[in-house]
Amino acid sequence: MLDTVSVRADFPILAREENGKRLVYLDNAATSQKPRKVLDAIQHYYHFHNANVHRGAYTLAVEATEAYEAGRTAVAGFVNAWAREAVVFTRGTTESINLVASSWGRTNVQPGDRVVVTAMDHHSNIVPWQILCQEKGATLRMVEITEDGRIDLSDFGRALESKPKIVAFPYVSNSLGTVNPVAQLTRLAHAAGAVAVVDGAQAAPHLRVDVQAIDCDFFAFSGHKMLAPMGSGALIAKPALLEAMPPYHGGGEMIERVWDDHATWNKIPHKFEGGTPNVEAAVGLGAAIAYLEQLGMDRVAEHESALARVAIERLTQIESVTIYGPRDHRAGVVPFTYGDIHPHDLATILDRDGVCIRAGHHCTQPLMRRLGVAATARASFYIYNDVDDIDALVSALRKAGELFGVPA
Ligand code: C6P
């Protein structure tokens, strides 16, 4: 396990108390807290190097550009991208997937075509494809999940028989914690002639990602879930695909030449980064990656799996708790319900003890329907969580059980 005492000391917000109790932050799947190194890197950038990037001939602008592009180099190394040019900065997973749907999708999907997603996908990896399919007269096919919360590989195989153009799936489910066999799913998608789009929102922060080993065509992630600022993230794509794709947004910096009635495009990835980019996001993301790499992503993954195992073991001892998702091959996401207590009530009551959990459909309504619930409560772990946090969760839950008269 990680040395959480020293890790916690790096996160100023974790020193705050909630109702006189230690802050127990268990909503990391929604967003992570930020270490001092990331906050300092952003402040340092604004104190010493701020200017608009890629445009200026003066020293400050060159430094700002270098800081921005250093963030790209860090991302490329972090996910083992094919090249630096394979990294397009976006506002996060949602924008990355919309970019693929709008650019690759609009160019390549024709009436009558199929797009495949899974029933455990986040709305961000469903709705952009729905919009594309509606616009193009294509059909969206949702692959079912098994009883124990995995992608149903038989149904996945059946969905591929229709030779879809795009197959999209999550690396890690935010509502089940399932870690999917993404390299295998990509191989199957390619064999059916499709491009594979991996939603890496819950993977990049928590395990070692290697896009070349997965061999996916597109990989989307959000920086804010991995210690970096809000509004940071990237799309990683095979360079040949990016070269062939039309731009997503028109504007400054994404062009080569502009004539009265048409324009030609800048090189990748700049073709997809129209307008002044979020430089502080790239700087913060670079610092976040340095922090995570110093801990080691294998240790991060081990730490969170260990916490999930302990949490599941402890929660299972509470009579009326139901835990969702598979028992193994899972990340540090633990969704549950507690008797008939509404998850929102549970989250509000736990907050009195300083325990922050998420309650709701977690932007996975098709999945919730299949689970037969409107909402779940969810604890999700990161590098600064420890067994004390799980103890606090369990004791706050037992108190809630007493309050609502639910067997504990
Ligand atoms: N999930 C949660 O589970 P953005 O908002 O673009 O940073 O990320 C969207 C997203 C896409 N895919 C998956 C698997 C996700 O988990 C998320 C974000 C958050 O609490 C918010 S619903």
Same domain, 172 and 205: yes
If you average pLDDT over every residue of the chain, what do you get? 97
Phi/psi at 44 (5° precision): -60, -45
Give the mean pLDDT of 310-324: 96
Contact status, residue 312 vs residue 393, Cβ threshold 8 Å: no
The residues, ordered by sequence, that sit 6+ positions from 206 with a Cβ below 8 Å of its Cβ are 172, 226, 300, 301, 304, 331, 332, 382
Q: Is the CB of 201 under 6 A from ligand 1?
A: yes
Residue that terminates a domain, selected from 237, 264, 293:
293
Please report the atom of ligand 1 found closest to the CA of residue 95.
6
> What count of other Cβ atoms lies within 10 Å of the Cβ of residue 257?
9
Q: Is the CB of 269 under 6 A from ligand 1?
A: no
pLDDT at 327 over 90: no
Which tens digit of pLDDT belongs to each residue from 28-48?
999 999 999 999 999 999 999
Same domain, 45 and 182: yes
Report the CATH number at residue 286: 3.40.640.10
Report residue 328's pLDDT band, with 50, 70 and 90 as the boundaries: confident
Same domain, 325 and 386: yes
Give the mean pLDDT of 146-153: 97
Same domain, 253 and 154: yes
pLDDT at 71 over 90: yes
Q: Is the CB of 376 under 6 A from ligand 1?
A: no
pLDDT at 118 over 90: yes
Residue that terminates a domain, selected from 266, 293, 320:
293
Residue with the smallest CA separation from ligand 1 atom 21 is: 30
pLDDT at 19 over 90: no
> DSSP alpha helices (H): ranges in 113-236?
127-136, 153-160, 182-191, 211-214
Same domain, 233 and 368: no
Same domain, 96 and 239: yes
The pTM (predicted TM-score) of the whole model is: 0.98
Known catalytic membership, residue 363: yes
What is the per-residue pLDDT for 106?
Answer: 98
In terms of C-beta density within 10 A (0-12 exposed, 13-18 middle, 19 or more buried), how is residue 95 classed?
buried
Q: Is the CB of 362 under 6 A from ligand 1?
A: yes
Residue that terminates a domain, selected from 255, 273, 293:
293
- Residue closest to 336 by CA, chosen among 355, 352, 358: 358
Which tens digit of pLDDT belongs to each residue from 271-292?
999 999 999 999 999 999 999 9
Q: Is the CB of 295 under 6 A from ligand 1?
A: no
- Count up the domains in the chain and report the number: 2
The percent of residues in the chain predicted with pLDDT above 70, rounded, is: 100
What is the per-residue pLDDT for 233?
Answer: 98
What is the per-residue pLDDT for 407?
Answer: 81
The residues, ordered by sequence, that sit 6+ positions from 88 with a Cβ below 8 Å of its Cβ are 96, 99, 234, 235, 236, 237, 242, 268, 269, 272, 273
Give the mean pLDDT of 200-225: 98
Give the mean pLDDT of 131-155: 98
Report residue 55's pLDDT band, with 50, 70 and 90 as the boundaries: confident
Same domain, 315 and 265: no
Report the CATH number at residue 399: 3.90.1150.10
Residue 199 Cα to ligand 1 middle (Å):
9
The residues, ordered by sequence, that sit 6+ positions from 253 with a Cβ below 8 Å of its Cβ are 54, 55, 266, 270, 273, 274, 275, 276
Residue 30 Cα to ligand 1 middle (Å):
6
Beta bridge partners of 115: 140, 166
Catalytic residue from among 133, 216, 356, 363: 363
Same domain, 308 and 192: no
How far is Cα 152 from Cα 331, in angstroms, rounded to an integer? 19
Same domain, 283 and 145: yes
pLDDT at 56 over 90: no
Contact status, residue 218 vs residue 195, Cβ threshold 8 Å: yes
Same domain, 128 and 22: no
What is the per-residue pLDDT for 329?
Answer: 82
The percent of residues in the chain predicted with pLDDT above 90, rounded, is: 97
Residue 60 Cα to ligand 1 middle (Å):
35
**Domain limits for position 160:** 39-293
Q: What's the DSSP call for residue 103?
A: I
pLDDT at 133 over 90: yes
Same domain, 19 and 90: no
